[in-house]
């Protein structure tokens, strides 16, 4: 959908008593001294569309002020825009008026709130109908992204990240694997997402680690164990000491055999745990390769800007993020918040 502004009319809006901006769908540069109303035009269009100023703030006043800074009452505050939507003319208008009522027994009216009226192509509309019409023209987030150099970096990082991936295009796991190989990663990811594959391995690791932790106490128990079996009546002339020695030898033999079994199980579980850790590392290698490719796609789309989409964690893993990196005067990339105002504006223009 192509939308152009043919005309924007303001009446009693903030510091402007009456003004008409005729554009006829053309681009225009608006300039002037500070305080003459340049920002007011942007605020007016934003208020007309979304009930907010150009910065996205809904708590601002559209009323005119007198020379003492007080609101001028009993005025109609109105903004109207004539748009060219895919070659067809469309008009929208919003009017804010004060509501004054007389209480019973009083001859003096008191301010009791505001009333907002809406029109689309000259036809009065309810607020819901008007909002639906505007939403059909343009989503607020898209409008602000296209008209503000700071909106992108004011968004939640999750939304910024999602938008970058939508615009730049992402990569499927298969596309990444086809480029980097990693046959073991292909086996682990067969029919599973990266997240699911990692979850399966971590679940397996937890079970194996728990079983492995249980081996040593059992080994210690074997070492402490002593026979409690009551011996059968001896059919020999061995002395009591000799019988006790024979029983101890038999017990030690059983304990030694049990220790061999437990140590073999301990070794097997240790090897299984090592294998799971190796698989997790393989999946991390895959993820880092995918991260590099995705960040490359985004960088190519928005050069010379950069975007940090993942960050290393203390445990060695990766965490999703989204940080805009802006070229500094020295030529290196610095975080958006550390760049000067001029470079932020240039970066914002590049994004929009």
Residue 61 is predicted with a pLDDT of 93
Gap between the terminal Cα atoms of the chain: 17
Residue 1 is predicted with a pLDDT of 83
pTM of the model: 0.62
Residue 3 has pLDDT above 90, yes or no: yes
Per-residue model confidence as pLDDT tens digits over 337-351: 898 888 888 888 888
Residue 292 is predicted with a pLDDT of 86
Residue 32 is predicted with a pLDDT of 86
| Between 192 and 226, the higher pLDDT residue | 192
Residue 206 is predicted with a pLDDT of 95
Residue 203 is predicted with a pLDDT of 95
Residue 233 is predicted with a pLDDT of 47
Neighbour count for residue 189 (Cβ, 10 Å): 21
CA angle 196, 188, 213 (to 5 degrees): 75
Residue 325 has pLDDT above 70, yes or no: yes
| Between 9 and 247, the higher pLDDT residue | 9
Query: Are residues 296 and 169 in contact, defined by beta-carbon separation less than 8 angstroms?
Result: no
Among residues 221, 214, 225, 224, which one has the least CA distance to residue 265? 214
H-helix or E-strand spanning residue 163: helix 157-168
Residue 156 has pLDDT above 70, yes or no: yes
Residue 316 is predicted with a pLDDT of 67
Query: Are residues 38 and 31 in contact, defined by beta-carbon separation less than 8 angstroms?
Result: yes
CA angle 320, 325, 326 (to 5 degrees): 165
* Token pair in block for residue 88: 């067809």
* Token pair in block for residue 40: 């007011």
Residue 230 is predicted with a pLDDT of 44
Per-residue model confidence as pLDDT tens digits over 288-317: 888 888 888 888 888 888 888 888 877 767
Q: Work out the average pLDDT over 16-44.
A: 90
Mean pLDDT, the chain, whole residue set? 87
Q: Work out the average pLDDT over 212-229.
A: 78
How far apart are the C-alpha atoms of 88 and 133, rounded to whole Å? 15
Residue 238 has pLDDT above 80, yes or no: no
Q: Work out the average pLDDT over 312-323.
A: 80
| Between 182 and 93, the higher pLDDT residue | 93
Residue 235 is predicted with a pLDDT of 52
Query: Are residues 138 and 3 in contact, defined by beta-carbon separation less than 8 angstroms?
Result: yes
Least confident range from 34-38, 81-85, 115-119, 316-320: namely 316-320
Query: Are residues 206 and 316 in contact, defined by beta-carbon separation less than 8 angstroms?
Result: no
How far apart are the C-alpha atoms of 62 and 86, rounded to whole Å? 30
Residue 171 has pLDDT above 90, yes or no: no
> 278: Cβ–Cβ under 8 A, 6 or more apart, which residues?
none
How far apart are the C-alpha atoms of 43 and 53, rounded to whole Å? 4
Per-residue model confidence as pLDDT tens digits over 31-63: 888 888 888 999 999 999 999 998 888 888 999
Residue 122 has pLDDT above 50, yes or no: yes
């Amino acid at each position: 959908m192509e939308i152009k502004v043919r005309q924007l009319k303001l009446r009693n809006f903030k510091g402007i008593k009456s003004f008409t901006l005729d554009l006829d769908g053309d681009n225009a540069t608006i300039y002037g001294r500070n305080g003459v109303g340049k920002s007011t035009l942007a605020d007016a269009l934003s208020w007309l569309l979304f009930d907010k100023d150009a910065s996205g703030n809904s708590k601002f006043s559209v009323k005119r002020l007198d020379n003492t800074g007080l609101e001028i009452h009993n005025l109609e505050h109105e903004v109207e825009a004539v748009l060219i939507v895919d070659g067809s003319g469309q008009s929208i208008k919003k009017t804010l008026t004060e509501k004054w009522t007389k209480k019973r027994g009083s001859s003096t009216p008191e301010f009791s709130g505001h009333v907002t009226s809406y029109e689309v192509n000259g036809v009065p509309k309810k607020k819901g109908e008007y909002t639906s019409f505007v939403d059909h023209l343009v989503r607020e987030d898209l409008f602000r992204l296209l008209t503000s150099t700071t909106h992108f970096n004011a968004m939640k990082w999750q939304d910024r990240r999602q938008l970058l991936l939508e615009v730049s295009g992402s990569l499927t796991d298969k596309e990444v694997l086809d480029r980097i190989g990693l046959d073991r990663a292909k086996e682990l990811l067969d029919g599973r997402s990266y997240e699911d594959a990692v979850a399966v391995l971590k679940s397996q690791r937890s079970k194996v680690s728990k079983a492995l932790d249980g081996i040593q106490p059992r080994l210690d128990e074997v070492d402490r164990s002593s026979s409690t079996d009551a011996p059968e009546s001896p059919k020999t002339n061995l002395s009591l000491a000799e019988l006790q020695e024979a029983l101890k030898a038999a017990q030690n033999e059983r304990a030694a055999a049990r220790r061999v079994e437990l140590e073999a199980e301990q070794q097997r579980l240790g090897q299984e745990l090592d294998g799971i850790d190796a698989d997790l590392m393989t999946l991390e290698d895959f993820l880092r390769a995918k991260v590099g490719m995705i960040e490359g796609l985004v960088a190519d789309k928005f050069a010379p800007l950069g975007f940090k989409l993942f960050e290393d964690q203390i445990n060695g893993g990766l965490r999703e993020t989204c940080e805009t990196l802006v070229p500094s005067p020295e030529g290196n990339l610095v975080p958006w918040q550390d760049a000067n105002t001029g470079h932020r504006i240039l970066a914002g223009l590049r994004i929009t």
